[in-house]
A and B are shown apart, each in its own frame.
Chain A
Amino acid sequence: MNSEENRREEIKKEDSKNLAAFIIVLIIAGIAGGLIGAMMMIGKDRVRIWLDTVANDTLMFCTVSGGLFIVASVVLSIIIASNYVAAKKLWEDKEHLDDNWDKIEKKISRVLVVSAATYVILYALYGCTAYNLAGNINESFQTASGMPGIYAYVLAAVTVQMFVCIFFNLSFQKKAVNLEKLLNPEKKGSVYDFRFAKKWYESLDEAERLKVGIASYRAYSIVNRTCLVMMIVTILLGMIVKITVLPVFIIATLWLIQILSFGLESLKNSTPTAAK
């Protein structure tokens, strides 16, 4: 047997070893899907009532979303500010700087991760609050006293809070990045620069780029799995209640963009320059 035949045999063995586990997982997933589907059929009336409430009583849904927005924005802002203040304090303690270095880096990372997540959470909650805006405002002003209903005040507060949060977040992102630049003088880029991400990446050294690569691949795998689960849930939900096909298209678009961008970037980076 030559070396290629040996290799083929090894590949075959590896495939058959994993095939059994793959089939078991498929069967379990099928059973789980069937059970979820059956449970959804049993609970379809409840799901319908809930979705009908969201669709018809938008005033209540949007007012509650506005309340959640205000609570979330305050909580997230406290997390961001407290981590930054703690990092700054550790940085000012020059005597123990060597011991505190990793703690400072961790706190700065927390500020940056939480502030990035804050944008997504607040945009989503603002989107829920402003859903059916014209209809809700119209309904909100149709009160017996002639005074606007609570929704109008919540919407005004949320809109002001949205701008405050954007500036607050941006300001703490800038402070955190500048502190990181004090810690690591080789880092380049300003948060006010539209090419910040590119400049920051270019100033990373080989070990940092490797860590970014590992983190990116893990994030890619997590998003792939999340898209698969969300697609299955949306398809099952669409079988029993009218949620339109929009959610399926949105998930498919995001999933496709992620797979194609990752695949094309990998191809671009693995192809020798002459072969491109």
Chain B
Amino acid sequence: MALNNRLKEYRARIGVNQQELGSMVHVSRQTISLIERGDYSPSVTLALKLAKVFDAKVEDLFTYVDDGKGESENE
């Protein structure tokens, strides 16, 4: 997996569930679930929206690790 994230940890800090976080950034619960599981890499816009909700930097939430697999992780 090329993109690691700490979304679940940050979500627990502010005490919201996936559905509530989804509503806060205007995406579905499934999308939050996909991001947390590392099955979907969010767009820059969504990553920035998430960072804003947690009052954090995008780099605090997401870290990129070059595993040489390219950009197919969204499939």
Contact = CB atoms under 8 A, between A and B. Distances in A.
Given A207-B31, A210-B74, A186 B40 contact: no
Interface string A101-113: 1100100000000
Give the 5 A-B residue pairs with the shortest CB-CB distance, closest first: A205-B27, A207-B31, A207-B40, A184-B28, A205-B31
Contacts of B23: 185-186
Contact of B42 (A102, A184, A206): A206
Q: Is the interface of A mostly helix, strand, loop or mixed?
A: helix
Given A185-B23, A210-B74, A101 B29 contact: yes
Given A184-B30, A186-B23, A205-B31, 19 more contacts: A98-B17, A105-B30, A183-B29, A184-B28, A186-B22, A204-B28, A205-B26, A205-B27, A206-B42, A206-B43, A206-B46, A207-B27, A207-B30, A207-B31, A207-B35, A208-B30, A210-B40, A210-B74, A214-B75
A203 to B, nearest CB: 9
Contact of B26 (A186, A207, A214): A186
B5 to A, nearest CB: 14
A183 B29 CA distance: 9
B53 to A, nearest CB: 15
Contacts of B40: 207, 210
Interface centre among A98, A102, A184 (most CB of B within 10 A): A184
Nearest to A214: B75
Contacts of B74: 210
B74 to A, nearest CB: 6
B34 interface: yes
A208 B74 CA distance: 11
A210 B17 CA distance: 23
Given A101-B29, A184-B28, A185-B23, A207 B34 contact: yes
Nearest to B46: A206
Nearest to A205: B27
Nearest to A210: B74
Interface in A149-190: 183-187
19 contacts: A98-B17, A183-B29, A184-B28, A184-B29, A186-B23, A186-B27, A186-B28, A187-B28, A205-B26, A205-B31, A206-B31, A206-B43, A207-B27, A207-B35, A207-B42, A208-B30, A210-B40, A210-B74, A214-B75
Contacts of B35: 207
Interface string A200-239: 0000111110100010000000000000000000000000
Interface string B38-52: 001011001000000
Contacts of B75: 214
Contacts of A185: 23
B46 to A, nearest CB: 6
Interface in B4-32: 17, 22-23, 26-31
